[in-house]
Structure 1
């Protein structure tokens, strides 16, 4: 038996492990050439594992998935699906057109149309006007929609607290700043990332 993954990694760390592994690989394969192929394959797997462990992108992906999963659980309690909360919060201050909402949320118009359609069926938004041009439709929250949007603040804050529980105030500001820089790097070939809170964080971090 090879044992657990943790035990396997400890064995790999031993200085005499690779020579012993080479010997066993040759014995299993029956000749040196085939044994070396097995050994190279195992070595590549080790390098790939180390690369993934050090990958910033993978760490971000894992954190994003966990955050989305947790938000999904909380949103489900309000009868919402992930993504709907963004539309509700965007419409909370005042009604806007479908085009304005798509621009604000940085998604394509068909995506907004689908989201608003579902929210309308749930009785959370209303649509007025439009005519032949769907972009001129004014979307507004209903009374129920306003109450749901207000409840989202507590949900977001709860998940935010869980996400940042292990970080102090300075680390949180640094994380926001670094994530914004990373986002700008990915958006060089696309839409610029505009964040109205970025300047305020820059000032806060300089003063800290």
Structure 2
């Protein structure tokens, strides 16, 4: 007889997220990183020189949390903080060369974890899963009175496209 928790979508989703985070932590440790730090490196690799406010907003965390993470990454020599040219009170965060290299290595980790997560799912299943997860996001955000992340509308439009049987590249985003 199965426990009611085994039939609960919320429980299954929570368990899958915990397992994914544990696997990510194992791989990130090889780079000397903790979960969450890789997101800062990736955000800066996409748009270097962000302010703490911009980083906190992009990470969807409070500014003190972003500041603590930046401090730890700075102590490892992966980031530098510099006063803005136009306003000395405004501090911007920049990747060091070592930080840029580790940010690049994060892609390989994310790709490996993605491959593990989607093993055995064909392209239709992956597309359906992405669509269902976006629906869950939308429902939960609505219940909290929160807004969906930027680009959510683009992803929904992607769902309207016909199914493709084209081969999937390693690390296809969910």
TM-score by length of 1: 0.71
CA distance in 2, matches of 1:198, 1:124: 34
SS in 1 for 2:145: coil
Counterparts of 1:121-160 in structure 2, within 5 Å, are 121-129=75-83, 136-160=90-114
SS in 2 for 1:170: helix
Show the counterpart of 1:192.
147
Tell whether the 8 Å contact from 1:92 to 1:146 is kept in structure 2 after alignment. yes
Compare 122-131 and 153-162 and name the one that shifted more: 122-131
Out of 54, 59, 80, the position equivalent to 2:7 is 54
TM superposition shift of 1:201: 5.5
CA distance in 2, matches of 1:144, 1:53: 44
TM superposition shift of 1:184: 1.4
Tell whether the 8 Å contact from 1:177 to 1:202 is kept in structure 2 after alignment. no
TM-score by length of 2: 0.84
Q: Which runs of 5+ in 1 are unaligned?
A: 1-8, 10-45
Q: Which runs of 5+ in 2 are unaligned?
A: 164-174
Change (3 A) 1:111 1:132: farther
Of the two structures, which has the highest relative contact order with CA contacts closer than 8 Å and spacing of 6 or more? 2
Counterparts of 1:41-80 in structure 2, within 5 Å, are 49=3, 51-80=4-33
Out of 9, 27, 42, the position equivalent to 1:89 is 42
**Runs of 4+ residues over 4 Å off in structure 1:** 130-133
Residues paired across the two proteins, number:
159
